[in-house]
Amino acid sequence: MHPAAPAVDTRLTYDDFLLFPDDGKRHELIDGVHYVTPSPRLRHQDLVGRLYVAITAYLVERPTAGRVFLSPVDVVMSFHDIVVPDLIFIAGDQAGIMTEKNIQGAPALVVEVLSKSTRKRDAQIKRRLFEQVGVREYWLVDPELDTVQVFRPTAEGRLVRVEELTAEDGGTLTTPLLPACGIDVRTLFRPTL
């Protein structure tokens, strides 16, 4: 009887990620699997922009609270996990994860705006990854349903939905990560032009 050959890890790595083309598409690795997403639609970008402006306005008055970044910024979670979220917030106590090239570790807050091509990946695959690496809060913004789902970790570290806000019902999107920062959900989803 011959001993079994050692298993070969065929997952892609950060080194492979660096070789992907700069083609205007979003390239990500999750557990070594390559995902490619086309450029987002205008409504998607409008929502990301509104969230960025709201958080930036909050941080202008509180510069030590942290930093907010728009996509594309590579977030290296592990050698096999590199994602490019729509928006990330790095809390003031996380400054050490920011490098000149990318983010090395779990941001405090990750925001993804759903699209038909990314809905399952964002809601399931990425949520599990963010849970594993210790993201403190995860927002899923749905431009079709005009909703924001907020996920926070349980005592066991599982990211669970703690709130869902809709444009129809109104309300204010808040987070303990940004005390006194409130984003009006109706204004967030208000149509333009």
Taking residues 90-105, what's their average pLDDT?
96
Confidence of residue 38 (pLDDT cuts 50, 70, 90): confident
Taking residues 170-187, what's their average pLDDT?
95
Position 2 pLDDT exceeds 70: no
Position 1 pLDDT exceeds 70: no
Q: State the CATH number of the domain containing residue 128.
A: 3.90.1570.10
- Of 22-36, 87-101, 136-150, minimum mean pLDDT range: 22-36
Domain assignment present for residue 68? The answer is yes
The per-residue pLDDT for 110 is: 98
Domain assignment present for residue 29? The answer is no
Helix, strand and coil content of the chain, in percent to the nearest 5, comes to: 25, 30, 40
Residue-number span of the structural domain to which 113 is assigned: 41-189
At 82, which helix (H) or strand (E)?
A: strand 81-83
Domain assignment present for residue 10? The answer is no
Domain assignment present for residue 63? The answer is yes
Count of the separate structural domains present in the chain: 1
Dist CA 62 CA 77 (whole Å): 27
The per-residue pLDDT for 7 is: 75
Contact 124, 159 (CB under 8 A): no
Radius of gyration of the chain (CA): 18
Dist CA 113 CA 75 (whole Å): 17
Confidence of residue 49 (pLDDT cuts 50, 70, 90): very high
What is the value of pTM for the model shown?
A: 0.91
The per-residue pLDDT for 191 is: 84
Q: How far is CA 30 from CA 14, 35, 106, 156, in A?
A: 11, 8, 14, 22
Domain assignment present for residue 22? The answer is no
The per-residue pLDDT for 8 is: 79
